[in-house]
Amino acid sequence: MNLLAFDTSTEYLSIALLKDMQIFRFDTLAHQAHSKMILPQIQSLLNQAQVQLADLHGIAFGAGPGSFTGVRIAAGVAQGLAFGHQLPVVDICTLLALAEASGHDQVIACLDARMGEVYYAAYQKVLDVWQVVEHPNVYKPHQVPNLQGDGWVGAGSGWQTYTDVLNHQYHGQLQSVLPSLLPTAASIITLAQPVFLSGHAKSAMLAMPMYVRNRVALKTTERMQGLSL
pLDDT at 216 over 70: no
Pairing status of strand 12-19 against strand 89-93: unpaired
Q: How many residues are there in the chain?
A: 229
- Count other C-beta atoms under 10 Å from residue 48's C-beta: 13
Q: What is the pLDDT of residues 151-197, one digit of tens each?
A: 999 999 999 999 999 999 999 999 999 999 999 999 999 999 999 99
CB 82 within 8 A of CB 88: yes
* Confidence label for 224 from pLDDT (cuts 50, 70 and 90): low
pLDDT at 223 over 50: no
| Cα 203 from Cα 225, distance rounded (Å) | 41
Average pLDDT of the residues of the chain: 93
Strand partners for 137: 120
* Confidence label for 24 from pLDDT (cuts 50, 70 and 90): very high
Domains in the chain with CATH codes:
2-94+183-224 (3.30.420.40), 95-178 (3.30.420.40)
Angle at 189 between CA 187 and CA 191, to 5 degrees: 70
Please compute the mean of the pLDDT values over residues 125-139 and round it to a whole number: 97
Please compute the mean of the pLDDT values over residues 71-80 and round it to a whole number: 96
pLDDT at 67 over 90: yes
